[in-house]
Every structure is written in C-alpha cells, then in structure tokens.
Structure 1
Amino acid sequence: MSIAPHAEDAFAERAHLLQHIQRLLPSDQGETSPLPADLLSYPGFISHAYEISADLAPAADLAEVRRHADASAARTKVSPCSAWAVDLPAREPHSAATLQRAIQQLDSLISTGHRVDVTIAQWSDQERRTFCAASCFLAEHWPAMLDELRHTVRQVTLLDGVGIAGFSNITAHGVIFLNRQRLRAGSDGLPGVLRLLEGLVHEGTHNRYNAADLHTPFLIPGTGAQAPVVQTPLRPDPRPLMGLFQQLIVLVRCIELYARFTAAATNGTAIQDRQAVLSRQAYEAYAECEKHRALLTDAGAQILADAFHRLNTSPTT
C-alpha cells in the first residue's frame, strides 16, 4: 500500500482478503467451491463468515445473506450516479450487528459521559444527490481516489443520531458508515459535499488499509499484542499503535483532498481552518509513529517515510 491511492493494488489486496474470508467459512456450510463474486464481496457475507469463525450467532443465515447480496447487486446496477455506482442501503442485518458492536466498543467513553444514540437511516433523495455530487467531484479532481474507492467499498450506510460521525470495521469489510450530519453544512462553515468527501476518503482509507495490512503487514508480526497503546489525534481514548498508523495515512490523504478542493473552489476561511487542523493532527500522528519505528515492517517504514515527505511538500505532488 502507498499513501497515494492505487486501484490495482487495492484490487489485489481485496482479492487476498476475500480468499481469507472464504476460508473462514467451515466446510459444513456447503461452500467448498468458489463463491460467486457478488456474494463473496458482499459485506453481509464477510460479516457472516467472521461471526461463524468467532463462534458468534450470525445476524442472518446464509440463505438470507444470499438474498441480501442479490438485492445489493441489483441496487448497484441501477444506481443513478454515473460517477460511482455503489450501494446506498437501508438497514441490513450485518450493518445493524456491526453498529451494535461499534457502540459496545465505546463503553469506556460512554461511561465518562460521551453520549451515543445512533441508528441506521434511510437515504433521502437530497442525500443521494449530495453523494453523487461528491462522487462527481472525485471523478473530475481526484480520479485515482475514486478508482480506489470503487475497488474497496461496496456499500455506504447512513447513520442518524449523535455520538458516531463515521466508522468502518474489517468484520464488515466494504462498508462505510457515515452520519448523515456529514452531508450537511457544518457549524464550522464547511459545505456538506466537502464534509462528505472527507468522510468517504477517511473511511474508505480504513477499508483499504485493513485489506492491505492482511496482505502485507505494517507492524512486525508477533508484536501486535505487545505494541504500545498510545494517544492519537483523532480519538480521546488511547488506541493501539496500529490505529495511530491508520490515522496518519487518513490524515495525509485528507490534506490532499482539501488541497484539491481548494484548487477547484473558493479558498474560504473555513477550508483554511480545516486544513490547518488536519495538518497539525498529521504532524502529531507522525511524531508519535516515529517514536515506534522499530516496530514497523519495511512496508510500514516506507509508509512513514512517504507521510513525512508529503507533509513537507505540496499536498498534491
């Protein structure tokens, strides 16, 4: 993986991840032959396989997963957005289960007063138009990023409520969860399309990273459990080193997004302020990662060096 988006590498990494997913499904499920691509890449199937491998009760049986996968593929084929035909689903069993696990992982924050009250929402027509406008922006101004997203993301699921702005998880790989507030103008003056773009780049990068790390680890194998828990610029609670490393890639990519948006639109104060915040957070993430360079593989060290170069040169070079 590189910080610069790369569709062909993303495709290869995802193919490797999907092979891993199929191996998680026990033979008594009757899936000894290669599965259809639409089923294998469907996030509900990925979630189903992970739940079985972890001895959890699956959110849906395999026959129901197949029905949802077929419906998802059908929706994608008739997507009205020519820039990016991706599924924008309502609530599905795997998305509901994944959200519930995400909320449970926030228990430590909830206990300190952090309010989490969020549900899966239905996309409105206006929200679909905003999504398409964001996709069209990428098609025109950052086509490499859009190409990578097409190879990485199968669904974008909308959240409604407070406490979670967005997230993704390898146990439902291929889904971006985004709060619908990210599609609206913010109190900081940023337009909804730009806020959505940042969310898509941010969570799409997490999806890409999860597949890439399974293909070519960024931490030295065997050190994950012993890796330090560190403070990160994007979370108030301490996170594993791997979480910080992901944040660094996300932040550097988002800096480039804002540089491209600035070049294509009026360079307003709100955009400049957001760029400054992202830059400060990226430098913080880099400095903390540098302290733990010895725990990185060669691939991880290359990413770290690339991040340093990009933070000290023009964001779009």
Structure 2
Amino acid sequence: MRVEPSARGAVEDRTLLRERMRAVLDRAELRVPQESLHHPAAVETVHLVQRALRTGPLGPDRLQSFSERLDRVPPAPVCAAAAPQGHLSRSVARALRSVPARGADSPTVTADVVEWEESERDVLEAALGLLQRVLPRNAAELRATVVEVALLGGAAIDGFTDFAVHGAVLVNRSRLLDSPDGLPGAVRCAEALVHEGAHTRCNAAAVAEPFLLPDGAGRAGAEQSGQLLVATPLRADPRPLAGLFQQTVVLARSVLLYRALAPEPFPDPGPAAVGARYAKLLDGARQAVRTLAAHPDSLTPHGRTVLAECAAVTGEPVRDGGYVPEDSGPGGPA
C-alpha cells in the first residue's frame, strides 16, 4: 500500500482477504457465492465461523445456522448507500462500547444506523462525482474497497470502520450537511469517504504486509511492559501506534483531497472554507508524522516507506525513518 490511492493495489488486498475467507469456509465445509463473498455481512459470518472453529469441528446445528446466514447474503454492491441491517447495527454496538466514558452529567451516548433520505443520497452521489473529477485514482480505489456506505444518526460517532464487517464504512449524517463556515456538504461527504476509505484500505493492506512490528518489538525498557499509547490529532484519548499510523495515512490523503479541491469554483464562502479546512488537516497531518516518526523502531520497512510518503505530502522532514526538526512545508490552497 502507498499513500497515493491504487485500485489495483486494493484489488490485490481484496483477493488475499478472499483467499483467507475461503480457507476458513473450506475448513467448515461451508460455501458462499463468489459475488457475495466481499459483502460485509459475509465477512461478519466468516469471522464468527473462524472463532467457532477454534473450539473444534462445527456440529450440524451450527453448520446449518452459518449456512443459512451465508445464503441470505446478497451480491456485494459497489460503494452504495446501505439500509439498516443486522451486521451494521451490531458493528455500531461494538463501536459504542469503545467510546470513552463521559461524566455523569453528560448526555447519553447514542448512535444507530438510519435510513438514507433522498436528499442525502443526492449528496453521496455528488461527493462521488466530485472525487471522480478531482481525484479519480481515489474514486477508483473506493469502488474497489468500499461495498456499503451506512448512515449514522446520533451525535456519539462521526464515522468509523470495523474489520469484522470489512467493506462497510459508517458515516454520520451530519457530515453530509454544509458546515457553518460554508464548507459544502458534498465536500464534507467526499472527505468522509476518503477518510473512512483510507481506514478500510489500511485494514486490508496490513494483512498482506504489516506497517508495525509486533507489540513490544523494537522498543526497550519500561515501554515493553505494556502497549505504547500516544497523543494523536483526531482523538482526545491516547491511542496505540496502530491507530496513529492509520490517522497519519488518513490525514495525508485528506490533505491531498483539499489540494485537489483548491481550483474548484465553489460559491462563496466555499473557497475560504476549503482553505481553512486544508490548513487544519495539514497541521494535524504534520503532528501525526512528527509523533509517528519519533518511534521508527516500531515500524516495519513497509511502514517506514508509507511514513516517508506521508511526510512528503506534509513537508515534514523525515530521514531514515526518524524526524528531523527543522522548518519545511509545501504550499496549498489559498
């Protein structure tokens, strides 16, 4: 995987995942049509089958239950708006359990999968069209990577991906609205697709070629007693290096999106809002690169290559996998 999107690379990642899913199903003597195998509902079932096989061969009742689940999986669509479904609701429930605890006086944390309104479908189509025009390689990778785009209600979660339902991205419906400062809803939706699509691609790519060494490898002293947690630009709570790595890629790709959007003839105050958003994303990307580059011994050679590419996007000077503290930076949209 590289920072520059690649549909071909995404297909290669998907092929490897398909082979591994097939191997799990073959062990259980289960089948699913080829056109359904990449559907997030099928992915969820394969995860469950794999977990069940750890305790031994599956009995007739479990085999029948899994077979019926797989029979209900439809052919996988391509980056399509998804209606509320069981596998998506279960994914949201898992995501809610990972939301940091809030104070007793804070409002109840809620999120759920909701139906798409026609106007929201129009924004999604506009966002995909915008990406096809300004970043066609990213649009092509999304078509090879993302199966379902699910819409979230509630204020607890802006968006997320979940490897247990790989191929689904979940986006809060608020990210389809114009922002108060004039950033168009289609632009915000396009950013959400680039953001969640990058997470999806990273999740698959890491299966083929990890970005990070196993936890503890390459680190010495007290850090080896537990998982290293670091500050990140996109989360208030400290995150493991794996989370920071994905944030770095996400932010670098988002910076590339807003650079490509700079010449677009948005009505006022759109251009100013695009510039402001670009500046904020670039600042976050630089922060992510600096923090990640401070831990070069935790990265694989592949991870160091991707970090160097992120650094090149942001203008942060990284040499031999480590951070070089000096001022540097490219231009961007006005």
Common topology (TM > 0.5): yes
Aligned letter for 1:174? Answer: G
Say whether 1:210 aligns with 2:203.
yes
In structure 2, C-alpha distance between the alignment counterparts of 1:91 and 1:131, rounded to whole Å: 17
Q: TM-score, normalised by structure 2?
A: 0.83
For the 8 Å contact 2:148–2:167, the answer to whether it is kept is yes
Q: TM-score, normalised by structure 1?
A: 0.87
Say whether 1:49 aligns with 2:46.
yes
Picking from 90, 99, 113, the partner of 2:92 is 99
String of CA shifts for 1:146-192, please: whole Å, max 9, x gaps.
Answer: 11011101110111111101000111100010011111112232110
* Partner in structure 2 of residue 237 of structure 1: 237
Change (3 A) 1:62 1:195: farther
Cα shift at 1:109? 5.0
Stretches of structure 2 that go unaligned for 5 or more consecutive residues are: 54-61, 218-223, 316-329
String of CA shifts for 1:75-126, please: whole Å, max 9, x gaps.
Answer: x4xxxxxxxx533121111111111101111153577947521111111111
In structure 2, C-alpha distance between the alignment counterparts of 1:110 and 1:16, rounded to whole Å: 44
For the 8 Å contact 2:45–2:69, the answer to whether it is kept is no
SS in 1 for 2:81: coil
Picking from 29, 37, 41, the partner of 1:40 is 37
Cα shift at 1:216? 0.3
Q: Which has the larger radius of gyration?
A: 2
Spell out the pairing of 1:52-201 with structure 2 (5 A cutoff): 52-55=49-52, 61-70=66-75, 73=76, 76=77, 85-109=78-102, 113=106, 115-201=108-194
Cα shift at 1:254? 0.4
Task: Give aligned pairs, total.
Answer: 300
For the 8 Å contact 2:11–2:145, the answer to whether it is kept is yes
In structure 1, C-alpha distance between the alignment counterparts of 2:275 and 2:289, rounded to whole Å: 21
Cα shift at 1:61? 4.2
In structure 2, C-alpha distance between the alignment counterparts of 1:42 and 1:55, rounded to whole Å: 20
Q: Which moved more, 1:111-120 or 1:204-213?
A: 111-120
Cα shift at 1:259? 1.2
Change (3 A) 1:296 1:134: same
Aligned letter for 1:181? Answer: S
In structure 2, C-alpha distance between the alignment counterparts of 1:297 and 1:111, rounded to whole Å: 42
* Partner in structure 1 of residue 301 of structure 2: 298
In structure 2, C-alpha distance between the alignment counterparts of 1:109 and 1:219, rounded to whole Å: 31
For the 8 Å contact 1:115–1:162, the answer to whether it is kept is no
For the 8 Å contact 1:119–1:161, the answer to whether it is kept is yes
Q: Identity percentage over the alignment? A: 32
In structure 2, C-alpha distance between the alignment counterparts of 1:103 and 1:111, rounded to whole Å: 17
Aligned letter for 1:8? Answer: R
Stretches of structure 1 that go unaligned for 5 or more consecutive residues are: 77-84
In structure 2, C-alpha distance between the alignment counterparts of 1:200 and 1:257, rounded to whole Å: 11
